Amino acid sequence: MKTSYCIDDVFERWPVRKAVRTLAVPAVASQMVTAVCSLTDTFFVGQTGSDTEIAAVSVSYTALLLLNTIANLFGIGGSSLLSRALGEHNRQKASQSAAFSLWGAAVISASYAILMAVFPQQLARLFGAGDSYLNDTCTYLHYSVVLGAIPSVLVMVFGHLVRAEGGARQAGVGLCLAGVANMVLDPLFIYPWGLNMGVAGAALATALAHWLSLGYFLLYMYRERAHTVLSLKVRHLRLPRRLVWDILSTGFPQSIKTVMSTLSGSVMNHLAAPFGEYVVAAIGVAHKFDLIPMNVATGFSAGSLPMIGYTYAARQYDRMKEALYHSQRYALYVSAGCMVVYLLFSPVLTGLFIQDEQTAQMGAQFLRVLSLALPGMTVSFIFTALFQATGRAREALIMSLYRKGAVDIPLLFLFNAIFPMWGLLLVQPVVDTTAVLLAWHFYKRFNRELQTLQGGDEACPAKA
């Protein structure tokens, strides 16, 4: 799929509903594979019957969120600027944003990998690892971060950038490739009939799968070099300071949300640890299922971001609003369906992943509570994507901090004091539901600005 074809046909000529599906479905599919990939590690490790290894994988998830932090900083910021540059028909600016995003992500992820190699136990404890599963946690982080940080981050950044220039299908294939490869390699590396590496095998499988996916994206960039605006050329790193600020300020809200999610997860792990290993494992499994609707919402927001950014820069505000509407509608259908399934069948679902009956039952009850947050989470995700796509970093930052960090961490301590253990799970439904009100307030103000600009036939105040 050539870049010019995608821009002319998908962004400008296709019916908006069809364009949203074209861009979002591959993004959702790739995000779903990511969620299934995370569940796969938990499933195969869970079959070993070791609560300590399950707890290690659960705690390590908090550390892996930092990889998403790096990817979101450069991927969301770079793809937002890239799509707006294409809407302005400025290919030079688009290539500069891609080159800066890819090189910046590579340098920061390499630095994180070095820190993990030098201070494994200190970082594992920081992320919430207890004494009984500290060694397993360090082992998992060695393979997944030290060996896998660079490809994991670059694959996510490539996915954002390829999608932003209209290559939604190619981005989906690359991201799905990592997930499928991980699912194939996991049992081979974990079980005695294979390499018998246990929890280390799960992490190594993930790292190798991402190296394979990175190879795919590099091959894509080489084969499409006559059409793509993606670039690794050093000369494209000479971009104006205002463009660097645009990328970082736009990506920062999503990035800080992931950092705050990491911090929130660490706080929850520390508060849950006194209740026993089985509680930490149960919370971890419940959160793994929570990843499915969350990744669907992330996929729709990532898929709609190029369309929103392009139409915003091209001053096609009606198409932009229609894209927002369809993204919200599709994502809500999925999240509502997941909520119903989790409320009705959570014991069956958690029982598939945990052998211990007590842990499985506890995880089922936790999953029911977390499912109440899904509709609010979906709405706030899509609205945050709108603010990111249009370069409104302040609104996106406030939304991100509200969901993770500023409100939920204090509530974790408060609710846990009032409702020991159960209060930890009640926080997210409360925060996500009230976040919808904040998102709607920002959207109404944004909509008034657009109406004023349309009335005066003025250019929309993009921050590129």
pLDDT in tens, 64-90: 878 888 888 898 888 888 888 887 888
Q: Which residues contact 246 (CB under 8 A, 6 or more apart)?
A: 77, 80, 81, 391, 463, 464
CA nearest neighbour of 59 among 266, 286, 242: 266
pLDDT of residue 153: 92
- C-alpha to C-alpha distances, 304 to 10, 21, 311, 453, nearest whole angstrom: 12, 9, 11, 23
Whether the per-residue pLDDT at 191 is higher than 60: the answer is yes
Q: Over the chain, what is the mean pLDDT?
A: 82
Task: Decide which of 129 and 147 is more confident.
Answer: 147
Mean pLDDT of all residues in 353-363: 78
Cβ neighbours of 252 (radius 10 Å): 21
pTM, two decimals, is 0.70
CA nearest neighbour of 461 among 247, 317, 305, 249: 317
Mean pLDDT of all residues in 145-155: 92
